[in-house]
A and B are shown apart, each in its own frame.
Chain A
Amino acid sequence: MSRPFTPKVITANALLQGDVIYLSESGIWVRALHEAALILDAARAEALLAEAQKDGMVVGAYLTDAAEGKHGPEPTHFREEFRRTGPSNYPHGKQETGARANV
């Protein structure tokens, strides 16, 4: 028996800037995890991922677990927490751009 599907988001890095991006409900790429589409079924996840991987302006699209939070999806693993925030040794990355606002 396959494992039950857990909610996911699609994430990647932008080709030009290299920064972390997420696929939103409207199909455009956004910079903040809380604006991402939380995908609740496996078939939709696979279909959206296949589409995302064809996008030439993004690199390395993949599905990652996320949980429904007060303001939108939240990470369930520390790697994704760092990706949505930035490094811990300098205030660089998303934490300085406000992409983590309201979370």
Chain B
Amino acid sequence: MYKYNDFDESFVRNRVAQFSAQVARRIDGSLSEEEFRPLRLMNGLYLQLHAYMLRVAIPYGTLNPDQMDQLAHIAETYDRGYGHFTTRQNIQYNWPKLPDVPAILSDLADVEMHAIQTSGNTIRNVTADHFAGAAADEVADPRPVAELIRQWSTDHPEFQFLPRKFKVAVTGAAADRAVVRAHDIGLVLKRQDGVLGAEIIVGGGLGRTPMVGKTLKEFVTFDDLLPYLEATVSVWNLLGRRDNKYKARIKITVHEHGIDDIRARVEDRFAAIKPTFGGVDMEMLREIEGHFVPPIFADKPVDAYTRAYEADPVFRAWADTNLAAHKAEGYAIVTVSLKKPGQTPGDATAEQMRALAQIARDYAHDELRISHEQNVILPHVHKSNLPALHAALKAFDLASANVGLVSDIIACPGMDYCALATARSIPVAQGIATRFEELKLEHDIGALKIKISGCINACGHHHVGHIGILGLDRAGVENYQITLGGDGTEDMVIGDRTGPGFAYDEIVPAIERILLSYLDLRDGPEETFLATYRRLGLAPFKAALYPAKEEKANAA
């Protein structure tokens, strides 16, 4: 993985020193809150409902074991002994105290991490496919491009005061695991005639106005990629609306001007700035690529795996749900679920983080990833190591066999923590997961993505959940709207709203009614919830959700 050079090291250290001085000046009264707020946000420090919250970037979701150990150390030393992995491949600490934040940032710098541009109207942490460098279906590893974008966008002088935040996601595979069509810019790496490049998708986003991203250009070679991105952000920076923050994101700019108009402007801008790059971007990319050489994969038998798979039903259940196809013979990608039913989605204790770090050292070529689905990935595990790895996970309560199932729920922090939230998300996720564990229906229901947001900003990606739940404040009471049929993959679809929302104590039974109907309606166990919904549409699920109303309508 990427290793800081002297420039990165001194840049991050200087920023820590700068922000430490700003914190000191805030505490001694030299800076007012009004002056301090934009400075703390530039460094990832929010003030939430109960406490400060520090959002730390995990660029393109990649961590090494020493970094994971340090995240555990920070959780234990300055926080409440846990961290929350988010839907944007960040980790959030929910309880830091202002005077401790400089020390936390210094500890992060010790392991080449930071919280820069995890907030504010800047280009945020660049996310990527969490199976990057390991997936069997990959054209190219997206991480070198993501790292190039991180370096280019960090403290980019033109892009520190954008109309609004700007999020970039990169995938190197046709199967989109990085939700690239819901980002301001999404890149899909492709190879054409032996040359690597990317499809550039622009103007996707969720939030108040969900939009599926549109193709700005089918193929841009790596040679032109960075100037093309700069041209795109630059066009939006001038054109994007600053009069209304709800209309400031590039998705609205694209919608208002049309993709053809935006493309013409980007092409003009690109022609003007391309010569100024002079090839230095490609030199940097080549240097970065050298940091992402795949590990040396072992060629050895997988008998230990086969034996355990046949003999141990618990191991088999876990292997069936939590493993994905690896590009190397004899290897698997492991998803470690942070979704034990009843647990807060995405939370890991310091002890669990340390265990994961050690497991990565012992069995997974020293690599970890954080997925936007709030799980931890061990991207390179030889199958012969899986039984021992599974046993190690079990010892730390990390062996839930539920990846991609009903209890593998994305949930934002919601009103349990977030100052913007209009309702809680976490207890709804806990309630659904616990209920379906009681019903023992999880495996019967099969592939399902439930996504929950506690406000319209949609950090929980509810619009693209097969079942999406949006928590709102309706006349001073928590109320939950349901959407069905959303899909965050390469076939991205925004879900359909079912109708009136449900009270806090009605939402889990409502989800149960939807899923029991699905079991009745499906064409057999092979037909997933999403496929059934696409075949039948909203009507039968609506009937199950609002039974009284339907009866009334029938009687009339």
Binding site for B on A (CB under 8 A): 13, 15-20, 56, 59-60, 76-79, 82-83, 86-90, 92-94
B217 within 8 A of A: no
Taking CB atoms and an 8 Å cut-off, the chain B residues in 19-76 that contact chain A are 26-27, 29, 32-33, 47-52
Can you pick out 6 interface pairs between chain A and chain B where the beta carbons lie within 8 Å of each other?
A: A13-B47, A18-B50, A19-B50, A78-B477, A88-B426, A94-B50
B425 nearest in chain A by CB position: A89
CA distance A58 to B19 in the complex (A): 20
B427 within 8 A of A: yes
Instruction: Name the distance in Å between A60's Cβ and chain B's nearest Cβ.
Output: 7
CA distance A83 to B48 in the complex (A): 10
Stretch of B91-99, B169-177, B198-206 with 4 or more beta carbons under 8 angstroms from chain A: B91-99
CA distance A88 to B32 in the complex (A): 33
A60 nearest in chain B by CB position: B47
Against A, the Cβ 8 Å flags (1 = close, 0 = not) of B422-451 are 001011001000000000000000000000
**What number of A-B contacts does a CB cutoff of 8 Å give?**
72
Residues of B within 8 A of A59 (CB): 33, 47
Q: Cβ of A17 and Cβ of B27 under 8 Å apart?
A: no
Q: Cβ of B50 and Cβ of A56 under 8 Å apart?
A: no
B99 nearest in chain A by CB position: A16
Instruction: Name the distance in Å between B374's Cβ and chain A's nearest Cβ.
Output: 14
Residues of B within 8 A of A87 (CB): 50, 94, 416-417, 426
Q: Cβ of A89 and Cβ of B416 under 8 Å apart?
A: yes
CA distance A13 to B47 in the complex (A): 8
A80 nearest in chain B by CB position: B49
Instruction: Name the distance in Å between B166's Cβ and chain A's nearest Cβ.
Output: 26
CA distance A15 to B50 in the complex (A): 12
Q: Cβ of A77 and Cβ of B476 under 8 Å apart?
A: yes
CA distance A88 to B96 in the complex (A): 19
A77 nearest in chain B by CB position: B476
Instruction: Name the distance in Å between A89's Cβ and chain B's nearest Cβ.
Output: 5
Binding site for A on B (CB under 8 A): 26-27, 29, 32-33, 47-52, 80, 94-99, 344, 415-417, 424, 426-427, 430, 473, 476-478
CA distance A103 to B116 in the complex (A): 41
Residues of A within 8 A of B477 (CB): 78
A93 nearest in chain B by CB position: B50
B347 nearest in chain A by CB position: A89
Tell whether A18 pairs with B52 under 8 Å between CB atoms, given A60-B47, A82-B415, A92-B80.
yes
Nearest 3 CB-CB pairings of A with B: A87-B416, A18-B52, A18-B51
A84 nearest in chain B by CB position: B50
Tell whether A83 pairs with B426 under 8 Å between CB atoms, given A78-B478, A89-B416.
no
CA distance A20 to B95 in the complex (A): 12
CA distance A94 to B478 in the complex (A): 22
CA distance A52 to B36 in the complex (A): 18
Q: Cβ of B427 and Cβ of A18 under 8 Å apart?
A: no
CA distance A20 to B47 in the complex (A): 11
CA distance A101 to B47 in the complex (A): 25
Residues of B within 8 A of A77 (CB): 476
Contact for A82 among B95, B416, B476, CB less than 8 A: B416
Q: Cβ of A18 and Cβ of B98 under 8 Å apart?
A: yes
Q: Cβ of B426 and Cβ of A18 under 8 Å apart?
A: no
B29 nearest in chain A by CB position: A56
Tell whether A20 pairs with B27 under 8 Å between CB atoms, given A59-B33, A89-B426, A89-B427.
no
A58 nearest in chain B by CB position: B33
Residues of B within 8 A of A17 (CB): 51, 97-98
Instruction: Name the distance in Å between B344's Cβ and chain A's nearest Cβ.
Output: 5
CA distance A16 to B424 in the complex (A): 26
Q: Cβ of A20 and Cβ of B50 under 8 Å apart?
A: yes
CA distance A18 to B52 in the complex (A): 5
Q: Cβ of A82 and Cβ of B426 under 8 Å apart?
A: no
Q: Cβ of A89 and Cβ of B430 under 8 Å apart?
A: yes
Q: Cβ of B416 and Cβ of A88 under 8 Å apart?
A: yes
B422 nearest in chain A by CB position: A79
Q: Cβ of A88 and Cβ of B424 under 8 Å apart?
A: yes
Contact for B427 among A78, A83, A88, A94, CB less than 8 A: A88
CA distance A17 to B97 in the complex (A): 5
Q: Cβ of B416 and Cβ of A18 under 8 Å apart?
A: no
A16 nearest in chain B by CB position: B98
Instruction: Name the distance in Å between B501's Cβ and chain A's nearest Cβ.
Output: 15
Instruction: Name the distance in Å between A84's Cβ and chain B's nearest Cβ.
Output: 10
Instruction: Name the distance in Å between A6's Cβ and chain B's nearest Cβ.
Output: 13
B413 nearest in chain A by CB position: A87
Instruction: Name the distance in Å between B41's Cβ and chain A's nearest Cβ.
Output: 13
Q: Cβ of A18 and Cβ of B97 under 8 Å apart?
A: yes
B343 nearest in chain A by CB position: A89
Contact for B476 among A15, A18, A78, A86, CB less than 8 A: A78
Tell whether A16 pairs with B97 under 8 Å between CB atoms, given A78-B476, A82-B415, A88-B427.
yes
Q: Cβ of B49 and Cβ of A83 under 8 Å apart?
A: yes
Q: Cβ of B80 and Cβ of A20 under 8 Å apart?
A: no
Residues of A within 8 A of B96 (CB): 18
Tell whether A92 pairs with B49 under 8 Å between CB atoms, given A56-B32, A82-B415, A82-B416.
no
CA distance A88 to B427 in the complex (A): 7
Residues of A within 8 A of B26 (CB): 15
Residues of B within 8 A of A94 (CB): 50
Contact for B27 among A13, A15, A60, CB less than 8 A: A15
B32 nearest in chain A by CB position: A56
CA distance A88 to B95 in the complex (A): 15
CA distance A90 to B97 in the complex (A): 18
CA distance A86 to B344 in the complex (A): 15
